[in-house]
Structure 1
């Protein structure tokens, strides 16, 4: 896999917010649901998610920056201690082995090819090394455990299900049914990685399932992060005189007092009545909309006419 910084298109100095922004943009761009006719989009989508697995985790990012893990999150082999720079722990010169290192690939002054790994040792010790497991050592070092393909799925949830952190059953493309608990702070379009639930085969570790969350539109509420917005019609007498009104929320109606002469468009905040978030529940922002009577009210019409006449004078 490519360098995760290159995959996400961010510099090494990028902060957490920049990395998350770049990831979300690319995840939406290459999501398989949006690229049904592009067979390469699935691979790019998986590559973007793998890059974010490294850079989105502060500990893994630090390990990658220090060279302790590679772009796939696997530990790097650092070589034989004391053999750096072409010399051993006591300063012995290994340049005669070719390539400047202890086991370079050029023919050395001893007359045999000092190739890396088993070939070097087998040319010194012959068949005894091979029968003792030299081939197995080489295979164990050069063949990491294979991993199956990632699969993609979409889970559509309602705001009520998000508010109650509901559990939903989903059938993955592999045919497996899983129960998914909707996490706190989930947002529309967010991609969740379900480890080990992708495609697999005998002798191959299963890949992951990449689950895209879709929040279904609501007839009343509009999500803004962990906050919700609600436009609430009120009677004209409630707006003029004030009083107690009932406010619908995702967990049941509550009562709220509004002051006299409340204008249309005024917004009130009900703390903790939004969606659950990682830092706590969000708020419900209620915007008032004055509703005129459906039946003609002569007294209201007379009042409006007098107000118009007074302004015209």
Structure 2
């Protein structure tokens, strides 16, 4: 029997927040968009989504812990012969018939339609509203119309580096024409997937709808690069600023700040701006590292050339000597 806690890799006394974190971590790892053609990853993603659908809902989790529903969300008291142990259990129990045949033939009565058998293809399991009577509709029982959860759908959205760093609100148009506003969380990473519960394909019968998964694609920024919560930026400084030192303006993901450049700074000198990096919600902010790039005028004039030449005669040095490149 499937243990939903084991599927998410958490203990039974895990908090709802722990459940959410475990799901997000696994969903990002096994999402089909990140594992194209990998059937194992696709199945794993379905398993963890099913586990989170139950454990992520406090009411469903309480019923699961009490044994009232199983790992597929089916009523324990309603599980009859051939019901199976997971989503679409009934169909899978009879998909491979005996005697070399692929399917078995059953007469469930007129209330059981063909779409009920294939409801599993829509991403959900079966849920019986009443018991089964072998006598069909005349036997006093019969199958009621099945319910199946709707299928999940996938979307992609592009955000700027700044929007991913600071958070943003973006509008997404769904396949059915509905538009929804979603919150891009601060510190969002490229490839991160957000779940819109109940925004997938409609369910079968009275079954619940599936979910929508929105993959976030973060655009590169010409100024910034990122490593975890830390941000890196190359800052051009003039020859005078590098030699004499100066106070310069530096862009950060949260706005412009002032920074002191020490006298005698060279290209490659790196300075840290503490707490000016990425700050995911509920976490400490990372740092920003500023790498200086000494830049000469595009066309040095004769005056600068003469000054440098006269200076070099009195103060000769070879910058490659320390690097062992002489």
State the Cα deviation string for residues 188-219 of structure 1 (Å, max 9, x = none): 11111100101115633211001111111111
CA contact (8 A) 1:234 1:288 kept: no
CA contact (8 A) 1:152 1:211 kept: yes
Which of 222, 226, 233 does residue 223 from structure 1 map onto?
A: 226
SS in 1 for 2:176: coil
Q: Take 2:26 and 2:10, find their aligned partners in 1: how far apart are those partners? A: 11
Structure 1, unmatched stretches of 5+, are: 80-116
192-201 vs 227-236, which moves further: 227-236
Aligned to 1:157: 159
Asked if residue 26 in structure 1 is aligned to residue 30 in structure 2, the reply is yes
Asked if residue 249 in structure 1 is aligned to residue 252 in structure 2, the reply is yes
State the Cα deviation string for residues 69-90 of structure 1 (Å, max 9, x = none): 6444x376279xxxxxxxxxxx
- 1:1-313 aligned at under 5 Å gives the runs 23-27=27-31, 30-31=32-33, 35=36, 44=43, 46-47=45-46, 50=49, 53=52, 70-72=70-72, 74=73, 77=76, 130=140, 135=141, 145-200=147-202, 203-280=206-283, 282-294=285-297, 295-296=299-300, 297-298=304-305, 299-304=307-312, 306-308=315-317
The structure-2 alpha-carbon separation of the partners of 1:262 and 1:154, relative to structure 1 and needing over 3 Å to count, comes to same
Q: Take 1:227 and 1:212, find their aligned partners in 2: how far apart are those partners? A: 22
Report the CA distance between 1:66 and its aligned residue.
Answer: 9.0
CA contact (8 A) 1:162 1:275 kept: no
Structure 2, unmatched stretches of 5+, are: 79-130, 322-326
The structure-2 alpha-carbon separation of the partners of 1:241 and 1:58, relative to structure 1 and needing over 3 Å to count, comes to farther
39-48 vs 284-293, which moves further: 39-48
CA contact (8 A) 1:26 1:48 kept: no
TM normalised by structure 1 equals 0.61
> RMSD of the alignment, in Å?
4.5
Report the CA distance between 1:308 and its aligned residue.
Answer: 2.7
Q: Take 1:19 and 1:118, find their aligned partners in 2: how far apart are those partners? A: 36
TM normalised by structure 2 equals 0.59
48-57 vs 192-201, which moves further: 48-57
State the Cα deviation string for residues 150-202 of structure 1 (Å, max 9, x = none): 00001111122234432111112333211112123321111111001011156
| Count of matched residue pairs | 253
149-158 vs 57-66, which moves further: 57-66
Higher-Rg member (1/2): 1
The structure-2 alpha-carbon separation of the partners of 1:21 and 1:194, relative to structure 1 and needing over 3 Å to count, comes to closer
Q: Take 1:24 and 1:61, find their aligned partners in 2: how far apart are those partners? A: 22
